Chains A and B, each alone.
Chain A
């Protein structure tokens, strides 16, 4: 156990940029953007047709007194939840490059000979990398997303005070803070589970390839897709991969459906239509009951076993 925790620490040390600094920068940009919006530009006037010219604080005041509390709540909750989209997108990129480098970089710089001089099994090494990308990376992103959300809410609170409106009734009370945070946590992990076969595939390539893992991972897939379309005039490979991305996307928008469902009384019917499409599971339990999800996990696990075998038994240690 101590060995395994040390291996996870090792992954954190090596990948601090992707796991910590990148999401902190995304969060920082978001907070800074809000800061600019509400404090720097709040004194300038905004032209609105038919209503005339107002500064932001008086507009907020107008919003405060005129908008229905239920509509306010859905706006706040959707806004809070939507922070996950930029984080999820960046997590996918960070995870992609993490997997490609995970079992390749140390072979490239020969430091694998140092790691292999320690009493650590290759299984444990590879599993530590799987755990890092499947469990730790989403957790890091989630925690930093929550910090970002809180920072923005604090800015909004100050803005509400400046506008002479109630921060409690406009921001905190309708925020449903913990539920939204929990939605985000679930969305990160369910999306990651859908990505399992991709994670496994990338780790396998990373363990196997002798050079440029990025090209080795992507080019053959593109070639197979092209070959398949020419030879059999089908697109099974492309549709399998496409389906993964759709389901990852679906995992991220499932809470949107949930929030919308909570507010079905105030949402116009055609706006609610999209959530009734069959292909989007409306709840995380439906995701977890989808056989394709579990098949994907099995495929991902098989790839990981392959990655371990290659690392353990390849003739050349490098």
Chain B
């Protein structure tokens, strides 16, 4: 698999504030990357750079194109949902379909109609009369009907209730994703997407603090429910993070063999959320 994204030394500054600080990463096709970071960490700036919506310093290639200079070319292969409710409020559902069909060479009306049939959205309604959840369904139907190579989702489910969020990701995974496509997602609700991710990037203060595949993470990060008698031994091994659950210490380790940890207590895979908290604390300290 070849890389579809290659970023080297990306920098972006707003006045004194460094939104991107020497960011480098690569991404192969057929992956689902979760881009996680606190507010103001640079997620949106990074996505905007990828989409050619903002200038940056450094080297960035997507499908061999410079997103800032060759944006028009790039947008034939890349789709994005910036966040909910960016569909124009005045447009009718049928007009939105006609529009995308008219401007996008890779759009399939049949596919879009198929997705919409699973919803209660009427063709002659205007976007402003749809509920927030329906607007997202419509947007997703329009975007999923485009045969794009890279899909970028920035907080796609913000403000939606749990039912919509679940079906959103299910549909994305079951109906859309395949080996030829790549998806980048940012979200606050990490726990809802961690089972679909193949790669993970944590970003804080404009810097990448973790960039690994989920498989590699599962091999190198372990969480141990430490038995009372081993507490001191465990702390001596310098866990990344310690939290308490029902009076029992839960330690997060990286780079220590699983067998060794099993002697301390029950070992399990850390959740992305726990890993995130540990990493963020670690960077802040």
Contacts and interface: CB of A to CB of B under 8 A. Distances in A.
Contacts of A116: 51, 53, 75
B125 interface: no
Contacts of B89: 109, 111
B173 to A, nearest CB: 21
Nearest to B75: A119
A13 B95 contact: yes
A117 B51 CA distance: 9
Nearest to B14: A315
A14 B88 CA distance: 9
A7 B98 CA distance: 11
Interface in B89-131: 89-92, 95, 98-100, 102-105
B79 A117 contact: yes
B172 interface: no
B104 A119 contact: yes
Contacts of A10: 95, 99
B3 interface: no
A110 B105 contact: no
A127 B89 CA distance: 23
Most buried by A among B71, B82, B98: B82
Contacts of B76: 119
A310 to B, nearest CB: 13
Given A14-B90, A121-B72, A317-B53, A5 B102 contact: yes
B72 A113 contact: no
Contacts of B165: none
The range of chain B's interface size is: 20 to 34
A316 interface: yes
Contacts of B48: 317
B88 A117 contact: no
B54 A120 contact: no
Contact of A117 (B55, B80, B85): B80
B103 A117 contact: no
A113 B54 contact: no
Contacts of B86: 109-114
Contacts of B91: 13-14
A116 B52 CA distance: 10
A12 B81 CA distance: 25
Interface in B63-91: 71-72, 75-76, 79-83, 85-91
A74 B259 CA distance: 105
B104 to A, nearest CB: 6
B55 A315 contact: yes
Most buried by B among A7, A109, A111: A111
A313 B88 contact: no
Contacts of A9: 98-99, 102
B105 A119 contact: yes
Interface in B15-62: 48, 51, 53-55
Contacts of B98: 6, 9
Contacts of B102: 2-3, 5-6, 9
A127 to B, nearest CB: 14
B24 to A, nearest CB: 22
Contacts of B90: 13-14
Interface in A1-43: 2-3, 5-7, 9-10, 13-14
Nearest to B81: A117
A254 B249 CA distance: 90
A151 to B, nearest CB: 30
Given A116-B53, A316-B54, A111 B87 contact: yes
A113 B82 contact: yes
A118 B82 contact: no
Contacts of A317: 48, 53-54
A118 to B, nearest CB: 5
A117 B82 contact: yes
Interface in A97-112: 106, 109-112
A118 B78 CA distance: 9
Sorted nearest first, the 3 A-B pairs with minimum C-beta distance are: A6-B102, A113-B82, A111-B88
Given A6-B98, A119-B76, 13 more contacts: A2-B103, A5-B102, A9-B102, A13-B91, A106-B88, A111-B86, A113-B86, A114-B86, A114-B87, A114-B88, A116-B53, A118-B104, A313-B55
5 contacts: A2-B102, A6-B102, A13-B95, A109-B89, A119-B76
